[in-house]
Chains A and B, each alone.
Chain A
Amino acid sequence: MGNNDLRELAIACRDGDRRSFETLVHSESRALIALAYRYTGDWEVARDLTQDMWMRVHERIHRWDPARSFRAWLLAVHRNGCLDHLRRAWVRYEATPGEEAIERLRLVSGDGNPEEELVRREFHERLLAALGELSESQRQVFVRVDLEQNNQKEVARALGIKYTTLRTTLHFARKRLATLLRCMEEAL
């Protein structure tokens, strides 16, 4: 669903239209379950977290500013819920940011073409190796922005760094990863 369609539905939902809310739940839940799965590695828990997130959205949608992206707001609410769950579960997310999520992505299969699947898995193995070569700050920023697809300003706020610092760190992380991956491919 496009951003504009999503925004229209969200506005109707904010005005109390129950059908719009149901349509939102049906159209966005798959992506949200996938996001929660990247945090938890458990489909059932990911579904429960997604349901909890929709309840929060239902209660707080009047706080959403239509001038902002609804999808970004939705994802922010969902990520906060997932992180709360990890904190409650005593999972030390901060210690190994994104590693488990990357591992889970490696296990995900593609459309079924064996050759493409093999290429994709090999690339993913190299990515895991290259990620280990980044500094802690570069890895944190890359995982939170590019892998978890968080809003860059929100990540900067969460990490307690300036937005410009995050942008610079992210730029170097991407460049370093690209260099490492290119070198790995050339070495094959």
Chain B
Amino acid sequence: MKKGIDCDVFHDQLDALKEGSLSEEGLEQLRLHADACSECAMSLKLHEHLASALTNLEAAVPDELVASVWPGVEAEVNVKRSEHPGDRSVRRGRSWLVPTLAAATLLLGVATGLLYKELTRVQARERVLAQTVTAQQSWLAELDQRTSANATALEAGLSGPGWARALPRREQMTIAELSDLLRRMPARATVLTTSQAETLLGAIPVWTPPGWRNAIGEIDIRDGVRAGELVEILDTLGVDPEMTLRTSRVLDLFRG
């Protein structure tokens, strides 16, 4: 006769007892059944014997052996933490969470401030550069206009001092150099005004060959002398190209 529970339930409850999950009521039922069933009583005795043996084995573990476990584990954990600082398995405790978050927030704030400051500085620099570019573009446009103006002035002939800079930087220059200079000028550019031409003709020395005198006398100087005409005169007169003139004299002549 089994009171309360049968043998199958007894063994289920014995498992619960081993797991530490058996209630007081279940334990009472277990003992009542064991009192009435010799085989189940022996099963309970076997369980208690093994539990006792295991407990005794635990008690037999040397204290110094138990005490030596944590230092070894702690050392290993520290080594691992130093080797793998980002490893999830060596996370810091919850007690570190608040200061860590606070530090992260502070860093984020500082970083944001620095970024904003840098952004403002870059924007200001960008404005200055834009102004500089605009000024340079304006200057280049003006320069372009000036260049065009110079070209126009050259087309206009000797109205400006540009031709004078084309004279050789020497005391003497040859007829060939003078002729070359005149050829580079626009053919219709006036190089001698009427008065300059009269002065020049009046200064012709007496020893000038008669052929030259006749040729010069035929030059129409009422509208002045143009570059093309002067080149033609030089060619007609057959002046020796290597004949030299004083550069200052040519300069004075053309300036008038």
Contacts and interface: CB of A to CB of B under 8 A. Distances in A.
Given A33-B65, A171-B8, A182-B39, A26 B93 contact: no
**What class of interface size applies to chain A in its complex with B?**
35 or more
A17 B88 contact: no
Contacts of A50: 69
25 contacts: A16-B94, A16-B96, A18-B92, A22-B70, A22-B74, A29-B66, A30-B58, A30-B66, A33-B65, A34-B58, A34-B61, A43-B61, A51-B69, A55-B80, A58-B77, A60-B89, A62-B89, A105-B50, A105-B53, A105-B57, A108-B60, A110-B52, A123-B49, A177-B42, A178-B43
Q: Which 10 A-B pairs have the closest CB atoms?
A: A178-B42, A59-B89, A16-B91, A105-B53, A34-B58, A29-B69, A17-B93, A178-B43, A34-B57, A178-B39
Contact of A18 (B8, B43, B47, B93): B93
Contact of B61 (A25, A33, A61, A177): A33
**What class of interface size applies to chain B in its complex with A?**
35 or more
Contacts of A54: 69, 73
Interface string B90-118: 11111111000000000000000000000
Interface string B46-72: 110110111011101110011011101
Nearest to A51: B72
B225 interface: no
A181 B61 contact: no
Question: Majority SS of interface residues in chain A?
Answer: helix
Interface of A: 3, 12, 15-19, 22, 25-26, 29-31, 33-34, 37-38, 43-44, 46-47, 50-51, 54-55, 58-62, 104-105, 108-111, 120, 123-124, 127, 146-147, 149, 152, 171, 174-175, 177-179, 181-182, 185
A26 B70 CA distance: 7
B256 to A, nearest CB: 102
